[in-house]
Amino acid sequence: MTFESMRDWIRYENIEISDRTLYRYLEEIKNLPLNDGRIITIDGDYNKKTWKFEFDKSAHEFGESDIKSFLLLKNLAPGALTQKRQNSIDKIEEVLFKAQSKSKFEYHMQSLPQAQIKTSSFNEYVYNEQEQQYLDTLIWAMQHSRKLKVMEISQDVRYPATLPKLPVVMLPMQILYHNGSIYVLLLIESTLDLVVYDLSRFKQFDILENIFSTQKFMDHFYAQASKRFGVAPNIDNEIYDIKLEFSCGAGTYISNRFWHCTQRFGQKPSGKWEMRMNTGINAELVDWVFGWGNQVKVLGPDLLQEKLKEKLVTMMDIYLNLTQ
């Protein structure tokens, strides 16, 4: 549309607005966020402008690949969420069914039985209704940059660590799905220390009216999170140059997977692989290395070697005594 066509329509509709205000409004709508489209202006001769709304129709046309992607997202999503949120997933599917070509959508949904694409849910924690409500509340707190006042939280059975003195005010920064569980990553307001809690550990907390700037703490948060291998707390504040040597087979396997944001791999002339990371040492790292058995050798640091020896001795004591 042009300024003249818009003004003619306004006069026809008997809307009272000056030419100056109308022009200002037309300039301002260029900055409006619009779904699947945008406003652009075209400068013509004699300083005349045309305002054009470009609509991306392709965003509303699902193809076979798009529908299969939805099937994969729906059926391979963690059981920790889908088992308690099936009604919500069904609603989304119904909206997609109505919005798209019904014949295409129905064909691809029904031609592949749902049971043929599924997750095993192995090692996944099944969160109850109360915990699912806590998850929704925590997501809301992050969306609105609200602080948390945590009054009660349970101890971590797998990776026990000293809990902060409660109650404590925390800044919710991230929801993380890791190794079958949903974790909440927070910064303690007074110290900016990073704490990571499984969703099931939250027993009592409040959302405060206080608003904080998430962006202000984001660089610090990512720096702290990258110091951990997984989610377990580190045994000290040091960052170590982790050097691991894997057999050819195990090295080929791990080099094609993500373990840590600083991971680096190289294959030696012997066929063995060397993996390097710059991270802290925690129980999760020790367990992970230990799980590779004789497929891995710790080249450094000494502290990680000692932790592996301690775990090996403990396991030997258990099973040697059992045999005797």
**Residue range 39-80, pLDDT digits in tens:** 777 776 666 778 787 776 655 566 677 777 887 888 888 887
- Indicate if the pLDDT at residue 173 is higher than 60: yes
End-to-end CA distance of the chain: 90
Q: Which residue has the higher pLDDT, 75 or 103?
A: 75
For residue 308, what pLDDT is reported?
A: 96
Q: Give the Å distances, CA to CA, from 191 to 171, 219, 250.
A: 11, 15, 40
Exposure of 142 by Cβ count < 10 A (0-12 exposed, 13-18 middle, 19+ buried)?
middle
Q: Give the Å distances, CA to CA, from 162 to 159, 195, 233, 235.
A: 10, 11, 10, 11
Q: Which residue has the higher pLDDT, 311 or 79?
A: 311
